[in-house]
Amino acid sequence: QQPVQSPQAVILREGEDAVINCSSSKALYSVHWYRQKHGEAPVFLMILLKGGEQKGHEKISASFNEKKQQSSLYLTASQLSYSGTYFCGTVTMEYGNKLVFGAGTILRVKS
Amino acid sequence: DGGITQSPKYLFRKEGQNVTLSCEQNLNHDAMYWYRQDPGQGLRLIYYSQIVNDFQKGDIAEGYSVSREKKESFPLTVTSAQKNPTAFYLCASSISFGARGYTFGSGTRLTVV
């Protein structure tokens, strides 16, 4: 089951904040977050394991709400380099530990 | 530097032909994966391999085949049975299957002409 990401797209000005959400209909074992720039490979940002923890570095962080089967990615004080498509990927025990990706959220940061 | 190398970057295929996409990694990762990316659909799993000489079908395996004879290599063959092969193909690897982050190659864009 593909996780649902929202919003589908967001446009920001430099310095503004954004939140990208990822929801699953299945109990989650872990959530991955990746960023992909046009025509390039997705780049791993972070992984969150069940337990409701929040991880991150610098101005990009994420939370994992196991009970709600949701994860959110927080981008604060956005920079031009943050532009790209953000994918969440979910691992569920019901799906045999395979990583299933959401459809992606397009983020564009303008100067 | 360690990483994943996919080749070629662009590939054109005539209808009815089989083509093989190369994927090589020097990360010493056990698990390798092939994903297909179409606009607006995210990444869909074609095949995956948890260890050498073993592989399993993903969600959209029909019309594709793989082999895993060496730890470093996981080639994908797109056969003539694949009805709509035009897409961006991404190979990935992880240190082990499941919970660890994936490293992706730069992809192969396949176009059927």
Contacts of A104 in chain B (CB under 8 A): 40, 42
Closest chain A residue to B47, measured at CA: A98
Which DSSP category does A2 fall into?
Answer: P
pLDDT by residue, tens only, chain A of 111 residues = 789 999 999 999 999 999 999 999 988 889 999 999 988 889 999 999 876 566 666 789 998 888 889 999 999 999 999 999 999 999 987 777 789 999 999 999 999
Intra-chain end-to-end CA distance of chain B, in Å: 36
- Please say if the pLDDT value at position B38 is more than 70: yes
B41 touches A at CB < 8 Å: yes
Q: What is the pLDDT of chain B when averaged over all its residues?
A: 93
Judge residue A51's burial from the number of C-beta atoms within 10 Å of its C-beta, 0-12 exposed, 13-18 middle, 19 or more buried.
exposed
DSSP A8-40: SEEEEETT--EEEEEE-SS--SEEEEEEE-TTS
Q: What is the pLDDT of residues B80-101, one digit of tens each?
A: 888 899 999 999 999 988 767 8
A95: phi then psi, degrees, rounded to nearest 5: -105, 20
Which residue in chain B is spatially nearest to A97 when comparing CA positions?
B98
Specify the residue for token string 């994943």.
Answer: B4
